[in-house]
Chains A and B, each alone.
Chain A
Amino acid sequence: MKVKKGLNLFEEVRSQGALSALCNGRGMCGKCKVKLDKELPLTETEVKLLSTLQIKENIRLACQHPVLEDDVNVSLVDKENIIVLGLDKGHVDVKKSIVDLLLAIDLGTTTVVMVLIDGKSGEVLLEHKFTNPQRTYGADVLSRIEVTLSNNNVCHRLIKNEIKKNVEDIVARFQPKSMSIGITGNTTMNHLWLNANVRPLVQIPYRPSVIKKVTQSIKAELGIDVEGTISVYPPIAAYLGSDILAGMSLINLFETRDNILFIDLGTNGEIVLVSDGKLYATSTAAGPAFEGVNMSSGCGAINGAIDHFFVNEEKINFTTINEGSPVGICGSGYIDLISCLLKGPLESSGYMMEEVILHEHPRISITQKDIREFQLAKAAIRSGMDMCLIRAGISYDRLDSLIIAGGFGKHINLEAAINIGLIPQQCSENTTFIGNSSLAGCVSWLSEEKKVPTQWNIESIKVIELASSAKWLELFSEHMLFEGGNV
């Protein structure tokens, strides 16, 4: 694309919705790289965040050029290529379905995943995963909310356009007469989709504006000529979305007599405990480290992502997704890697003398800063788990099972997760990984295999607020260490 002299490079490229900008243009993340057809003057930030080679190749950070001195031709660098993964192709029970197609969509802060199912046969027709286009307005929900509060509904428009495009493609390809669409996601994503007021999400007492299921018409909402509705499923609380609710529904947490701890490892880690029939839930800002974001060699679960590390003859070896040539490290890879490094240069405090290089061309490595980022994520999740158990007054021995969901959740090495202190030792025998439970739960609601929990069900969940608790800070600090600490 061409950007004219005098314009703001960052805003121009970002308005196309294709730019990664985790820090929202504050010159901190170094992700908004663009390649230019001529040399622009360098800023100090660019010298710090770009390599000499990149600078030579006229790669610059878009956010560093608010007023262009010359017309330029811009191409994007760092564009992520995400493939479908984590869902088992198969068959869904659609006895109760009366439409031609079912489309379940999980709106994640970082990634959007959708699955299309034949309403008559139950066959899974299509799976698709893409980066949430809102990411250009920051990596976390707070920055999306801030943008929206400045009287700008761009986040709403970006996601709506992207979904509309996808549904148009599906309709063109499969020619359905009728269709049911279901949307799950965290509460912020839910509100941004509905263009609902997000202010209450950041104002005490942090209540969602929307607490019920909203049904929209596909025709009216997307302007696509197909009979049917979009079900936007209800959130639990401001920081507990329909995504975790869908997972709870899927694994029958509302009916169980067992003690079950259920975790959805996302940018916002959501944690639910059912103990003696009572439900407790909390969410914790884990950050996107488990999704490979904000890590120097991090990537999503894409072709060539390193998903496992192991030590063989005192050397660190790895495997990649689909045996592609290595491009970076995804979340499950980091859990393994840190566990491996603890046998060598990494101390339990997280201190590491120097960067560890794992592969050359392209260089894949882990730095001290990556470890620190990971510590924050790990400590956030584990301290949230502990807080739920403390509130219910039980210990990890009393758990019948620990269930872990997440886009990459099926691929975690349990032994490594215990070794780094993410999962307690007591759960070594009864932990299961179930993949993307938000999407699977969304499918089960759409096909009416499971019922959407009632308002009464949802209100019975005790929401635990972590931020104001001194005990939580103590646990958060304790779990910074890579040790198997227990309640």
Chain B
Amino acid sequence: MSHSEILANIQEKVIKGKIKEIEQLCLSALDEGLSAMEILEGGLLMAMQRVAEAWKNGTAFIPEVLITARAMNIGLAVLEPQLAKGERKNHGKVVIGTVLDDLHDIGKNLIGLMLKSRGFEIVDLGVNVKPEKFVDAIKEHKPQVLCMSALLTTSMIHFREVVSALEENDLRENLLICVGGAPVTQAYAQQVKADVYTPDAVSLADLLEARFA
């Protein structure tokens, strides 16, 4: 098999969630002389990219995204020790979290997955995150981007509080604030003084990649 065939095969197996084979395929790809970086980018991340693209176009659905992400992470664990330090691309740091009064995390996790697969470093604050905790995390990690998610009309009101708290702490200026979630709209994002709203995780990843890569 040529190198490109090996990578195509890894992509297929990742998309199908064949985790037992992925481990073996990654190891034999290394034996065939492919670098860990080539396998990561051309195999694992490319698989994620393909599914993400299809998801955005409405031809793939959440089950495929989760299946692919799980398989990608298993492959990544195999490659990680082989990846030279600093070799992986890093477009910047993104802090993500679901706002106070909201325990929904699938949307937020999908954002994390998409951005991670595009070469961003993710700091995940989890769900039900208080405004103070967002402020502390921005102080500590100094990210380029903050992404907040809300799935309820009763919780999305907290976006505004976080933005205000960041303004009060002089942390707003060099920070790109993105908001999303089922009840959120472009108009609402503007109202709470966020910088970016996208209807789905993939569009956000596209936008951030274009901006920071």
A-to-B contact residues, CB < 8 Å: 146, 149, 199, 202-204, 206, 347-351, 369, 372-373, 375-376, 379, 465, 467-468, 473-474, 476-478, 480-481
A295 vs B24: C-alpha distance when bound (angstroms): 37
Shortest Cβ distance from B103 into A: residue: A467
Q: List 12 A-B contacts (CB under 8 A).
A: A348-B16, A348-B17, A349-B16, A349-B67, A351-B15, A372-B62, A372-B64, A379-B63, A467-B104, A468-B128, A477-B70, A480-B17
Interface 1/0 per residue, B60-81 and A, CB below 8 Å: 0111101101100000000000
A106 vs B16: C-alpha distance when bound (angstroms): 41
State whether B16 touches A473 (Cβ < 8 A): no
A476 vs B64: C-alpha distance when bound (angstroms): 12
Please give the distance in Å from A22's CB to the nearest CB on chain B.
15
Residue numbers in A under 8 Å from B126 (CB-CB) = 468
Known pairs A204-B128, A372-B61, A468-B105; A480 contacts B66 (CB<8 A): yes
Apart from A204-B100, A372-B63, what 19 extra A-B contacts exist at CB < 8 Å? A146-B153, A149-B154, A203-B154, A204-B128, A347-B16, A348-B16, A351-B64, A372-B61, A372-B62, A372-B64, A376-B62, A467-B103, A468-B128, A477-B66, A477-B67, A477-B70, A480-B17, A480-B67, A481-B67
Residue numbers in B under 8 Å from A481 (CB-CB) = 17, 67
B8 contacts chain A at the CB level, 8 A cutoff:
no
From B18, B66, B101, B153, A476 is in contact (CB under 8 Å) with B66
Please give the distance in Å from A14's CB to the nearest CB on chain B.
20
Please give the distance in Å from B126's CB to the nearest CB on chain A.
7
Shortest Cβ distance from A481 into B: residue: B17
A351 vs B64: C-alpha distance when bound (angstroms): 9
A481 vs B61: C-alpha distance when bound (angstroms): 13
State whether B63 touches A468 (Cβ < 8 A): no
Please give the distance in Å from B168's CB to the nearest CB on chain A.
24
Residue numbers in A under 8 Å from B100 (CB-CB) = 204
Of A347, A379, A477, most buried by chain B (CB within 10 Å of CB) is: A477
Shortest Cβ distance from B59 into A: residue: A368
State whether B102 touches A204 (Cβ < 8 A): yes
Please give the distance in Å from A482's CB to the nearest CB on chain B.
10
State whether B63 touches A204 (Cβ < 8 A): no
Residue numbers in A under 8 Å from B109 (CB-CB) = 473
Residue numbers in A under 8 Å from B66 (CB-CB) = 476-477, 480
From B15, B16, B69, B153, A477 is in contact (CB under 8 Å) with B69
Please give the distance in Å from A2's CB to the nearest CB on chain B.
34
The 3 closest A-B pairs by CB, nearest first: A372-B61, A477-B66, A375-B63
A348 vs B71: C-alpha distance when bound (angstroms): 14
Count of CB-CB pairs between chains A and B under 8 Å: 65
B125 contacts chain A at the CB level, 8 A cutoff:
no
Interface 1/0 per residue, B110-136 and A, CB below 8 Å: 000000000000000011100000000
State whether B61 touches A369 (Cβ < 8 A): yes
State whether A467 touches B67 (Cβ < 8 A): no
Please give the distance in Å from A473's CB to the nearest CB on chain B.
6
Residue numbers in B under 8 Å from A376 (CB-CB) = 62-63
Shortest Cβ distance from A476 into B: residue: B66
Residues of B contacting A: mostly: loop
B152 contacts chain A at the CB level, 8 A cutoff:
yes
State whether B63 touches A202 (Cβ < 8 A): no
Residue numbers in B under 8 Å from A465 (CB-CB) = 103
A351 vs B153: C-alpha distance when bound (angstroms): 35
Shortest Cβ distance from A465 into B: residue: B103
State whether A202 touches B154 (Cβ < 8 A): yes
State whether A467 touches B105 (Cβ < 8 A): yes
Residue numbers in A under 8 Å from B64 (CB-CB) = 349-351, 372
Residue numbers in A under 8 Å from B62 (CB-CB) = 372, 376
Residue numbers in A under 8 Å from B152 (CB-CB) = 202
A61 vs B87: C-alpha distance when bound (angstroms): 53
From A203, A206, A350, B63 is in contact (CB under 8 Å) with A350
A202 vs B156: C-alpha distance when bound (angstroms): 12
A481 vs B14: C-alpha distance when bound (angstroms): 12
Of B101, B103, B128, most buried by chain A (CB within 10 Å of CB) is: B103
A478 vs B69: C-alpha distance when bound (angstroms): 10
Residue numbers in B under 8 Å from A476 (CB-CB) = 66
Residue numbers in A under 8 Å from B61 (CB-CB) = 369, 372-373
From A149, A349, A369, A373, B17 is in contact (CB under 8 Å) with A349
A77 vs B127: C-alpha distance when bound (angstroms): 42
Please give the distance in Å from B66's CB to the nearest CB on chain A.
4
From A149, A203, A350, A474, B67 is in contact (CB under 8 Å) with A350
Interface 1/0 per residue, B7-41 and A, CB below 8 Å: 00000000111100000000000000000000000
State which residues 118-171 of B face A: CB under 8 Å.
126-128, 152-154
Residue numbers in B under 8 Å from A473 (CB-CB) = 105-106, 109
Known pairs A372-B63, A480-B63; A474 contacts B70 (CB<8 A): yes
State whether B103 touches A204 (Cβ < 8 A): yes
Please give the distance in Å from A409's CB to the nearest CB on chain B.
24
A256 vs B108: C-alpha distance when bound (angstroms): 41
Residue numbers in B under 8 Å from A474 (CB-CB) = 70
A112 vs B178: C-alpha distance when bound (angstroms): 42
Residue numbers in B under 8 Å from A199 (CB-CB) = 154
Known pairs A476-B66, A480-B63; A349 contacts B153 (CB<8 A): no
A351 vs B54: C-alpha distance when bound (angstroms): 13
Please give the distance in Å from A27's CB to the nearest CB on chain B.
14
Residue numbers in A under 8 Å from B67 (CB-CB) = 349-350, 477, 480-481
Known pairs A369-B61, A480-B67; A468 contacts B127 (CB<8 A): yes
Residue numbers in A under 8 Å from B154 (CB-CB) = 149, 199, 202-203
A351 vs B17: C-alpha distance when bound (angstroms): 11
A233 vs B166: C-alpha distance when bound (angstroms): 47
A61 vs B64: C-alpha distance when bound (angstroms): 30
Shortest Cβ distance from B102 into A: residue: A204
Please give the distance in Å from A194's CB to the nearest CB on chain B.
20
Please give the distance in Å from A421's CB to the nearest CB on chain B.
12
A369 vs B55: C-alpha distance when bound (angstroms): 12
